[in-house]
Amino acid sequence: MSSPNKPWPGVIRRYASFLPVTDQTPVITLHEGNTPLIPVPRFVEKIGGKFDLFLKYEALNPTCSFKDRGMTLAVSKAAERGAKVVVCASTGNTSASAAAYAARAGMQSVVLLPKGKIALGKMAQALMYGAKAISIDGNFDDALRIVRELGETGIAEVVNSVNPVRIEGQKTAAFEICDVLGDGPDFHFLPVGNAGNITAYWRGFKEYANAGLSDTLPKMMGWQAAGAAPLVLGHPVEKPETVATAIRIGNPASWDGAMNAASESGGSIRSVTDEQILEAYALLARTEGIFVEPACAAPLAGLILATRAGEIPAGSLITATMTGHGLKDPDTAIRVSGIVPIEVAATKEAVLGALGL
Ligand SMILES: *Cc1c(COP(=O)(O)O)cnc(C)c1O
């Protein structure tokens, strides 16, 4: 819908008829959305697949994660109600996004972060955008409980995905996939943490089909980390642990939405180990030049399992959400690569020597 001379208007203006906005809603946008759908044939070949895989590269949103889609709507609705302060609990990306959109709207943001588990890039973002950052001596679930309590006092507007408009904004990614492919995919793979996004995509795919804009409804394939897999175990996890900090959540807010998306679509929610996650993470970067944060590799690891198990029919059309950028978590990247640059003298001979040539 964008002409060569006009900027993409952001997801609210592009998909207004599907969203809870009116002409009176002030649109707070950083022109999020319109992220690329990248084919990855070398990755598919490497894992022995006989299907087409496209990655919805949400790392190219303004704060480098999909959270911006829901945040533009949450902060716009907060502005419409005259809010001055927004608050969220976050494993990192929600706080980065909330802080950015609050700055754009001239509001104060307050972010509650679980102690010691925030990836470096995300922390840098929240601080630069002017958030009041508070580190909670507890995990994400503790932080979210406090945020809900703060919301009830009326002091601040809660912009976690317990705020239903977040999910409304996030469903626009499913619309964009259908717009680009001309239909829905056969399968959609994505990571599952607090479970807002799987809920949002399923709603988006269904709404587009109901509007006559697509025919195919994908099987929704959600993937949790084995150490933080409450939806797979069927009960909350007290002390969730995983290298994929964005999905380190023990008691997902959108529990029912996620279970419904999986069962209604004929898909599933399963788990992969941290080892499998890190393998897929490195494989994607090295075979396709696409750098994502570890959480994004959970569905890729899941796709590897499903491919080996013969669950994916030949010729299937598969999409997967790459939810956040690899640069968000540079510590994990440097650790996983295991590569230390070789130091040599500043001569051609020394470089050739180091290369073994
Ligand atoms: C928030 C987030 C997730 C998890 O999404 P949910 O909606 O909480 O399931 C996954 N990956 C990244 C990078 C995220 O920021």
Centre of ligand 1 to C-alpha 158, Å, is 17
Atom of ligand 1 nearest to the CA of 161: 7
CB 93 less than 6 A from any atom of ligand 1: yes
> pLDDT tens, 214-244?
999 999 999 999 999 999 999 999 999 999 9
- Give the confidence band of 107 by pLDDT, cuts at 50, 70, 90: very high
152-156, 276-280, 328-332: range with lowest mean pLDDT: 152-156
Measuring CA to CA, which residue among 168, 161, 190 is closest to residue 57? 190
Centre of ligand 1 to C-alpha 192, Å, is 6
Q: Whose CA is nearest to atom 1 of ligand 1?
A: 246
Atom of ligand 1 nearest to the CA of 295: 11
Residue 120, φ and ψ in degrees, nearest 5: -55, -45
C-alpha dihedral over 296, 298, 299, 305, to 10 degrees?
Answer: 150
- Give the confidence band of 42 by pLDDT, cuts at 50, 70, 90: very high
DSSP code of residue 21: -
Between the CA of residue 136 and those of 98, 99, 150, 248, 331, what are the distances in Å?
18, 18, 14, 15, 22
Atom of ligand 1 nearest to the CA of 93: 15
CB 191 less than 6 A from any atom of ligand 1: yes
Between the CA of residue 128 and those of 28, 97, 132, 321, what are the distances in Å?
19, 12, 10, 27
Centre of ligand 1 to C-alpha 346, Å, is 44
Per-residue pLDDT, 3: 66
Centre of ligand 1 to C-alpha 93, Å, is 8
Centre of ligand 1 to C-alpha 294, Å, is 11
From 35, 65, 256, 271, give the residue whose CB has the most ligand 1 atoms within 8 Å, as the site to mutate.
65
> pLDDT tens, 124-141?
999 999 999 999 999 888
CB 246 less than 6 A from any atom of ligand 1: yes
Per-residue pLDDT, 91: 80
Residue 355 has pLDDT above 70, yes or no: yes
- Give the confidence band of 6 by pLDDT, cuts at 50, 70, 90: confident
C-alpha dihedral over 102, 108, 114, 115, to 10 degrees?
Answer: 130
Structure tokens that stand for 309 in this block: 């198990």
> pLDDT tens, 44-69?
999 999 999 999 999 999 999 999 99
Structure tokens that stand for 317 in this block: 């059309």
Atom of ligand 1 nearest to the CA of 244: 11
Measuring CA to CA, which residue among 55, 53, 54, 51 is closest to residue 311? 51
CB 194 less than 6 A from any atom of ligand 1: yes
Centre of ligand 1 to C-alpha 23, Å, is 30
Centre of ligand 1 to C-alpha 92, Å, is 10
- For helices 274-288 and 294-308, give the axis angle rounded to 10 degrees: 90
Q: List, in sequence order, every residue forming a beta bridge with 112; answer none if it has no partner.
A: 89, 134
The sign of the dihedral angle between the CA atoms of 4, 9, 13, 18 is positive
Atom of ligand 1 nearest to the CA of 192: 9
- Other CB atoms within a 10 A radius of the CB of residue 194 amount to 27
CB 323 less than 6 A from any atom of ligand 1: yes
From 118, 144, 163, 194, give the residue whose CB has the most ligand 1 atoms within 8 Å, as the site to mutate.
194
- Give the confidence band of 1 by pLDDT, cuts at 50, 70, 90: low
Residue 27, φ and ψ in degrees, nearest 5: -90, 110
190, 116 contact by CB (below 8 A) = no
User: Residue 152 — left, alpha, or beta (φ > 0 → left; ψ -120 to 50 → alpha)?
Assistant: alpha
Centre of ligand 1 to C-alpha 296, Å, is 8
- Give the confidence band of 283 by pLDDT, cuts at 50, 70, 90: very high
